[in-house]
Amino acid sequence: SQELEQSPQSLIVQEGKNLTINCTSSKTLYGLYWYKQKYGEGLIFLMMLQKGGEEKSHEKITAKLDEKKQQSSLHITASQPSHAGIYLCGAATITGNQFYFGTGTSLTVIP
Amino acid sequence: KAGVTQTPRYLIKTRGQQVTLSCSPISGHRSVSWYQQTPGQGLQFLFEYFSETQRNKGNFPGRFSGRQFSNSRSEMNVSTLELGDSALYLCASSLDDSSYNSPLHFGNGTRLTVT
């Protein structure tokens, strides 16, 4: 099965600081998605990356998929309390018939 | 456009009972998938339906079942509930009909507690 490992497991940062979350796969990724979840709620879609080397940004969040398509990083610039939550990466198998999620990274931003 | 709607939001059941959860996808989305989320196991794939057919199934016992109706609405059923079934059950819909080239859109989930 395809497994996605996220690091770190949790992060506590001061407001205004930059941070990076990593998502690593043992296999080639075909479609890598980043989601954010508030505790006890559904997942909010952030970004989708499909091509090696692809980079996308939305407001202060930037995600990149490496050339080999086995690792993705999510970078938040000048973090705010509104960025707090659980960040999950998700990916489809090569056949696209199943979707896997990473272990999640819990982010706390201290005002 | 309305998002993915899941009902009920909360459920409390007793061991041995059965439960049915409902999911209404975003209008126009034909694929609906279900996930179980627990603190220990994270997000785990249950099954996916497309055009009223179960297209994929995760590694869960047969007590977990689902179906999809002609209007794409989906239900999942858990029979003979166990304490370990306590979890947040999330439904997601997507537009794409083949591979995961379009993102999954999630509902807010149903929090099931089994006592």
pLDDT above 60 for B42: yes
A89 exposure class (CB count in 10 Å sphere: 0-12, 13-18, 19+): buried
A30 touches A50 (CB < 8 A): yes
B104 touches B94 (CB < 8 A): yes
A68-77: per-residue pLDDT in tens?
A: 878 999 999 9
Instruction: Round to whole Å and give the CA distance between A15 and A21.
Output: 16
Q: Which residues of A touch B (CB under 8 A)?
A: 30-31, 33, 35, 40-45, 48, 50, 88, 90, 92, 95-104
What pLDDT shows up at residue A94? 64
Give the position of tokens 């996930």: B35
B90 vs A: CB within 8 A: yes
Instruction: Calculate the CA B85 to chain-centre distance.
Output: 13
A32-57: per-residue pLDDT in tens?
A: 899 999 988 899 999 999 888 899 99
Contact B99 A45 (CB under 8 A): no
Instruction: Round to whole Å and give the CA distance between B94 and B28.
Output: 9
Q: How far is CA A71 from CA A66, A83, A109, in A?
A: 6, 22, 25
